[in-house]
Structure 1
């Protein structure tokens, strides 16, 4: 019987937003499973550090590329520069910026979320997808959010971008209908990463308050589920997985110890 790890051994995995959090954790999990990695992100020094750590720990090949996924030409140049076939694309790059009402939110926050969470994700799907279709194999895993399944106050644009990820994932599966290309999503709730610090523009105290009195998910929790999604038999396509900590029951229902 073929094991999960054996299904992944030797696969080439491209992970966007790999400099921290879920992306970094996913890189370690795929390396442990015997995959070669292509990691992208904006912070070159972080990528270099992660590359060194993974190669010394797991002995697997790691290629790194530093660019902003919002820049379509940079995405195109990156894809044209890689020679290896991408077996698995983990579209992880994304962010929340601001937590404000629709009538007073910052336009720059909106642009950052739309350009990263939607356009950046689409850039990679559009540029990596043709080769997958041509060879009739591959797997695209988009990182969504509970915010893609329900909305909440002051999060209109972030929720909108993650609803878009959900719709794009579903429609892309239909676009690849009749091929062996798989399309999936993983949609977490509260995960203790840099997410809230980024949302609150570096206000670490405010970011810590998001997780006060409750046990959030970890980046490793989500990385395990990404790996599980990727390692199913070739005829199995997991469309989406909504993952919440026990202390969370919806976007806005969070149990906190007093």
Structure 2
């Protein structure tokens, strides 16, 4: 193991008692997904890390394993591949207490007149179809454990903005999925929740969106004194998941104080 990895939990306070409960986080290789995995491990969940990049998952599992008493495992899976999702369902088996549908992301920010529809297909493949496949595949395991699903959508589903037609469309479709699912399974012991983040400064989100252009990625957060960070959303997800089982947080919209709306951000200087 890396001697520089922490040997105690990076979080304050005693962990809640969720020993023996399993949580699966998609998109766990970075950003909100990785931060959520850490938070859930601190709470005592046995965390299953899911993403495409195995080496990232291995590193995160080793890090968490240095300070968490709960088991942590990895499952390499591209949620846009139906066969891989089927394999994920088999690996999970019966009984899952929490599913965090975090995998997704934005690609491009061109106006509709210049839209790259391959980028749109990529966004819909992960945010909508991939998330739907994972949810469908794991729903029986969640029902067996009286579990909770938390969907990570976006304030892109709150209102459109210039250059956001593709991403706003994908996240709006995901939000519609959340609402429909909650209605469809209201008679089953599964909670359906949604967290809708605004401006979150993570290492990869904007960099991916702008195809690796660091200058454009940095410009998104320029002058914003305190954008949200991944752990802010992870904290919200963990709070939602650990409410009493009769409490369902339908939707939690979270923005930095400097962002009043998608199009209204206070920038200093």
Aligned 1:40-59 pairs, distance under 5 A: 40-59=50-69
Segments of structure 2 that go 5 or more residues without pairing to the other structure are 1-13
* Counterpart check, 1:231 vs 2:215: no
Equivalenced residue count is 255
Q: Give the structure 1 partner of residue 132 of structure 2.
A: 122
Aligned 1:1-258 pairs, distance under 5 A: 6=16, 8-83=18-93, 85-133=95-143, 135=144, 137-193=146-202, 194-214=204-224, 215-258=226-269
Secondary structure of the equivalent of 2:75?
strand
Secondary structure of the equivalent of 1:210?
helix
What's the C-alpha RMSD, in Å, of the aligned pairs? 1.5
Deviation, 1:207, is 0.3
Structure 2 CA distance for aligned equivalents of residues 73 and 206 of structure 1: 36
* Aligned residues of 1:118 and 1:161 also touching (Cα < 8 A): yes
TM-score normalised according to structure 1 size = 0.95
TM-score normalised according to structure 2 size = 0.91
Deviations 1:145-186 (A, max 9, x none): 001111111110100111112111111111111222100000
Structure 1 CA distance for aligned equivalents of residues 69 and 212 of structure 2: 35
Segments of structure 1 that go 5 or more residues without pairing to the other structure are none
Deviations 1:115-140 (A, max 9, x none): 0000011011100112333x261111
Structure 1 CA distance for aligned equivalents of residues 129 and 253 of structure 2: 22
Secondary structure of the equivalent of 2:264?
coil
Secondary structure of the equivalent of 1:137?
coil
